[in-house]
Structure 1
């Protein structure tokens, strides 16, 4: 039976972000659906009212009745992905975090963002890199496409705290962390010392860590390699 895989993109991205990954996974026999989360569809007149809860529900709603799926979450997509798992852990047979991690209760992705601003446009490249988002492996053409297609992130998502339940069921969902802009060894050290909130939830999860050395957007810099890793993990 084919493995069903859901792909959740990070901030400023829609389903199109996975265009080079999807066909590779399909040739490997998987049933794949790339998602555009609420708030990231420019045709939606209510997109700036999207919430993390809306996004989590969209992920849950994408799971066919009676099935359990492998959920892949890139970057900021980890927040609604983890919330979806918290709300409906039985729907997910595994979660794969791509240069991201499950986030702790109360975490705000951009605490400096004024929610009254309504949205957070894609920053300049230099600022992204200063904030730790490596552009390694992305040429001028890819960056131009990214800039052209990027959708401003709703502040109602980016500046909102992640609210998780008290249930520990989400911790039992098997997890894999694909480390691209930060090595697996570095992520484990950050997990263990607790200095950066982004990685503290990993201390509660028995996750595996795989290296894919490149930048923060491996679906563009190493799409085939990323797809093969996802395939290997999902097909277990």
Structure 2
């Protein structure tokens, strides 16, 4: 009787090897097939066995990627071949990932699957930059959003919130700042941008809604996390 296949939908965390969960590490070392996104740190690929079948499927803004339906079908096919499959996604599988589509395809095909959480860059990146998302005085909440489609967001409501954590916003930084100021967010509100959080090439810029676009002019910002709020101003006091 052939071995039953199974697909593990695994969060790779922000990228650094030491921020991978123990379970994710164990699964990678025994994987028979690996399907990974473009933003996954290539160092993680060194953990899989030499005979592991590897598929790079893209999924990075502005670059060639597989169609989601093709990824869904690939996962089903590998599972039906009896393989232990790792679907590796950056961050956490359910934070702005397309995991739901993949699960629906696996369920429709009768494939076994399991979701393995990962650390999201939405919370890890600010921490690594010395920025608290909450503070007893400055912030009792924070909001995480994607700027992939600016028209989906209620910028008038967002401008009233104390802390914004914005993913997929590097290419739209100027428009994000303009929209928040248009709805009366103070121009001197602190802003931080963290690129490649946790990885050796990590970069950090700080400024304000009024200055950050000019400060980063000519810089390649993606992939990055944008943090907007007074808590950014605490960074000089909380760094080692």
TM-score under structure 1 normalisation? Answer: 0.31
Larger radius of gyration: 2
Q: Which has the higher helix share?
A: 1
